[in-house]
Structures are given as structure tokens and as C-alpha cells.
Structure 1
Amino acid sequence: MATSFSYYNSNVLVMASLMVGSLVAFADSGSGFQSKNEYLFGKIDMKLKLVPGNSAGTVTAYYAKAIESNKFYLWFDPTADFHTYSILWNPGNVVFYVDGRPIREFKNLQSFGIPYLNNQSMKAYSSIWNADDWATRGGLVKTDWTQSPFTASFRNFNAKACIWSNGVSSCSSSNATNNAWFSQELDSSSQKMGAEMGAEELHGLQLLRGHNAIPSGPPIGMHCHQQGIGCKNP
């Protein structure tokens, strides 16, 4: 049985029995969902299947809080099947993964005077919307709405995390350290793996770290968009 809910009519479709959901974008509306809980540190995984075909100008995002963007190129077609996108956030670092492969790490460098997310609790969000004013070649390529509706699919959301409620964490200092993710760091081989991200693929993945990355300034995470007609990199 399917249940539809959204701020935009039925642009969100959830198949409760299969733990599968879809977000749909039309010319006059996008859609999104968020986790029920706020978190302060955790490992969050979700499988996504991105919008197929010519969806240039639309953006599918999966994020938490935010400052700037970094662009990477995936080694597979993210529209052909589900792939696992993960965010690891602990007191030592924030690491983004795709199918278990680390693609970016932000270390805690507070000792050097660089701010770090130690006290800002966040929810997990995902959304799809029209961003053809900036996402495709700086707004030069506009969304072809004859191809709509644009649908991205999601499943298997999993949060191994410290739930933050009323200023209190569900993780005490003792039980948090029992979770492998709480102290997980990248070893040299993992860092090398992330550095070897190919630059020849056609599908872009962008990591967001700020309010300039998306005009409305959503929280840190990943978003995927096609760079132009046929997913060509500008």
C-alpha cells in the first residue's frame, strides 16, 4: 500500500512495505522529506537512484547542514540503479562515501581555529527541485519540462547516530565510544582511494558546505545534477 504526503500535493510517494520512496519535481513544484530525529554525530546511509534521461537543471540533494561546494565525477551511471550514499560525522571528521568508497574528508581542525560541527544538531534531508538558474553551466542550460515529471528514488535509510532531543544526546560518553563510527577515521589507503576519483565520468556529484552552494542555503551534504544535455561536463 502506498501513502502519499508532501507540501506539494502528492510529490512524495512512499511504499511502506518496501521501504522505498520517490520524490517528484514538476515545473511548478519540487518535493522533499526529512528525518523525524535530529542528530549530533552519526553514520547515515541511504540508497538513491537518480533521475534518468535528460534531467539537466534539476538537483537531487541529500544533506544535513552547511559553506561551499566541491565537485566530483562518479565512476558509474547513478540513474541506472540504486547506490549507497553515506555521511559519517563524528568528533574527529566528516567523511562522505559512495558505495563505501570515501570521496571527501573534512577533519576537525578546531585546534587551528577552524570551526567544526561539534554542537550543531541536525536532521537528515533529501529533496529534488529545479535549479536551472545555476546548476547547469551557470544557468545557461534550462530544464526541458517536456521531460517531466522528474523522479528520484530512495530506499533503506539507516541512521546509526546519537539522537539529540531537548539539549540531551542519546549517546553517553561511555556507550558512544562502543560504536565503531564514533572514532572512525580514514587510513592512508582510504585517503588514496578518495584521491583517485576519476575526472572522466559524465555524472557529477557535488559536496555542499555552505550557503553559497545552493541559493536557499540548505544544510551539509551531497547533491547530484546533470551538467548539461546528455550529462556532459561543461
Structure 2
Amino acid sequence: MAYLKEKFLLSCFVIFSSLLFSVSSRGAVYRPPTVEQLTDRFPRIPFTQGMSTLFGAPNVHFKSNGSYVDIILDKNTGSGLISKNKYYHGFFSAAIKLPAGFTSGVVLAFYMSNADIYPKNHDEVDFELLGYSKRRQWVLQTNMYGNGSVHTGREEKVYLWFDPTQDFHQYTILWNNYHIVFLVDNIPVREVVHNQAISSVYPSKPMSLYATIWDASEWATNGGKYPVNYKYAPFVASLGQLEIVGCSLQKTNSSTNSTTSGCLKNTTVSSLDPVDGQDYAKLSKQQIDGLNWVRSKHMYYSYCKDTARYKVMPAECNAV
């Protein structure tokens, strides 16, 4: 009888443990919490409809009538895409499958920027996936600049809870007047709340969406200690499930004028911003739980804890 009781308790423990984490070649990987699938709310479009080749045209390969695209880094060049329009606020998402193997120094960036228009006071919102030599594991870095505040790096880094080289995973930026939310597979990994402490450096001007792969040997791994090894090239990143929904900035007939389509900025008239309103003003209880899960189990660097770098912390780090 005691043996049967012990066996029953052991079985319960195994079942309970399997709900918390799974085991792979990368060790224990905790199962993420359930969250709302925000990416189901917006339509997917072909890359050929929403984006154009930015550089490295021979290394940009559109597939499935433009629904998917490979962007490639080899010894000759990297490659990249840029959105056909600029956007003020919106929801920007793509599913990405990263190169496998030894990828030290390789960076895949999915980000928004207006540096081409405002070189001295540009805004930027970044996902940067950093190829890494340690454990041969990709690292996710997020960052944000507003109004040219590049002297203050606002990086945060997390280890992913899955192998990003085995399948597609969704990387999403939600940007509105309330906050900027970085999401991975719909789980928030970071929230930048638009409050008084950060208001002066909060992105405020229309931006383009970019997807690029390039050689970041000089800084991406221990200050360039482990450069890209082109023996393992080409490095191929595959992208799909593109969603670009925002207030698009359309050029008028005059080369000096532009209009913001679908978004009424700085007026009292109700906005047509697709991520305006209470549904997108703050995180839900599920999303807060997901954010806390990522930050407690997977985040290993935050600029707000880097006292060696900042003797006086940026104002938002001290905001309640």
C-alpha cells in the first residue's frame, strides 16, 4: 500500500513538473503563461505589399508570392527591408526564424526609426537579435531612443525560452501615446510607459519599419571579441506573417508636405489610430503576468540596474 501511495505521489509530481517546464537540449525551458493573441486582431500582408528592399538586393529572396522573405548575410553583404510608408503609432509584427549554428557577431534587427529624416534628433524602437558564442544561443535585446537621445542607451537583454532557429516566432512592437510594448509570441517582454519621467525622450515622430541582417562584429559580442566567422555563412533569416497597421504618413503632391492618413494628431477629434483607446492603453492582467514571468525568469540585463554605467540613473528608472 505504501508503495502504491509513493508511486501515485511521484506520478503527480511528474505531471505537475511537466506543466511548469519542458526539457530540451538547451536545458529546462519554462512554459510561458497564456496571454491574449494580439496578432490575431490585425491582418497579415505580403512583404511585397508592405516593404521594399533597402540594401543587399541579391541577398533578399521573396517567397510564396511575397508572403515570406529570406534576408541573408554573407561575406559580400548583409541585407534589409524598409516599409513603403512611415507610421505614427501602430502595431508592427513579423514572424522570424533565425540562422542556426555559430552566429557570433550576426545581428537581426526588427525595428522602427526615422534617422533618415531626422539624423540629429531621430526616434528609434528596436528589437535586436544577437548571435552569440556563449552557449551558441541567440540573445534578444530591446532598446529605445527618442528625439536623438542616443547618449543614453536603454538596452534590456533576455534569453529566449525557445530555440529561435527551429521555427518561426512572432516579434511585435505596439506603439501609441500610452506606452511602447515589445512582445514575443504575444507575451510582453518589455513595456515603456509614456510618463512625465520619459516624456522628453519618448518617440514622437513618424517612423519607418525595418528588418535587417548585418555584421556587428565590432560590438555585438563582448566588444567584438568574437567576430562573425564566415566559414559558417551564409546566415539566412526567414520572415513571415507581416502585420503593419498604423497611421501612415502619405506624401502629397508637394515634395515638402505630407499628410498623416488615418490618424488625427494633436486635435480633439477622436482618432482613427488602430491602437488607440482603452483596449491598448495598458496591459491586461494576463499580459502583466506574462511580462513579470519574462523579467523574473529570462531577463539578465537592464540599463536601470547598471550602476557602473550610470552614476546617476536615467529619470525613468526612478519613476514609480
Quote the Cα distance in structure 1 between the aligned partners of 2:85 and 2:174.
16
What runs of 5+ residues in structure 1 fail to find an aligned partner? 209-234
Quote the Cα distance in structure 2 between the aligned partners of 1:21 and 1:55.
20
Quote the Cα distance in structure 2 between the aligned partners of 1:112 and 1:9.
38
Task: Kindly indicate whether the alpha-carbon contact (under 8 Å) linking 1:75 and 1:198 is maintained by their aligned counterparts in 2.
Answer: no
Q: TM-score, normalised by structure 1?
A: 0.76
Deviates more, 1:99-108 or 1:164-173: 164-173
Quote the Cα distance in structure 2 between the aligned partners of 1:207 and 1:121.
27
Give the aligned partner of residue 133 of structure 1. Answer: 218
1:47-77 alpha-carbon deviations (Å, 9 max, x no partner): 1101111111100000003232211111000
Task: Kindly indicate whether the alpha-carbon contact (under 8 Å) linking 1:110 and 1:116 is maintained by their aligned counterparts in 2.
Answer: no
Query: Does residue 174 of structure 1 match 2:285?
Result: no
Shift of 1:175: 5.0
Q: Which of 80, 100, 103 pairs up with 2:189? A: 103
Question: What secondary structure is seen at the aligned counterpart in 1 of 2:208?
Answer: coil
Shift of 1:110: 3.7
Shift of 1:24: 0.6
Quote the Cα distance in structure 1 between the aligned partners of 2:97 and 2:212.
13
1:135-181 alpha-carbon deviations (Å, 9 max, x no partner): 1122111211111010000012111211112142322443526x4x2
Distance 1:189 1:8, change over 3 A: closer
Distance 1:51 1:109, change over 3 A: same
Quote the Cα distance in structure 2 between the aligned partners of 1:72 and 1:171.
34
Give the aligned partner of residue 65 of structure 2. Answer: 17
Quote the Cα distance in structure 2 between the aligned partners of 1:207 and 1:126.
24
Quote the Cα distance in structure 2 between the aligned partners of 1:207 and 1:161.
29
Larger radius of gyration: 2
Quote the Cα distance in structure 1 between the aligned partners of 2:58 and 2:232.
19
Quote the Cα distance in structure 1 between the aligned partners of 2:55 and 2:198.
43
What runs of 5+ residues in structure 2 fail to find an aligned partner? 1-47, 114-123, 125-144, 146-152, 251-257, 304-320
Give the aligned partner of residue 160 of structure 2. Answer: 74
Correspondence 1:148-167 to 2 at 5 A: 148-165=233-250, 166-167=258-259
Q: TM-score, normalised by structure 2?
A: 0.57
Task: Kindly indicate whether the alpha-carbon contact (under 8 Å) linking 1:73 and 1:197 is maintained by their aligned counterparts in 2.
Answer: no
The number of residues matched between the two structures is 201
Quote the Cα distance in structure 2 between the aligned partners of 1:153 and 1:207.
28
Quote the Cα distance in structure 2 between the aligned partners of 1:48 and 1:96.
15
Q: Report the AA paired with residue 261 of structure 2.
A: S
Q: Provide the identity percentage.
A: 31
Task: Kindly indicate whether the alpha-carbon contact (under 8 Å) linking 1:72 and 1:199 is maintained by their aligned counterparts in 2.
Answer: no
Distance 1:13 1:207, change over 3 A: farther
Question: What secondary structure is seen at the aligned counterpart in 2 of 1:192?
Answer: helix
Distance 1:117 1:8, change over 3 A: closer
Q: Whose helix proportion is higher, 1 or 2?
A: 2
Q: Report the AA paired with residue 158 of structure 1.
A: E
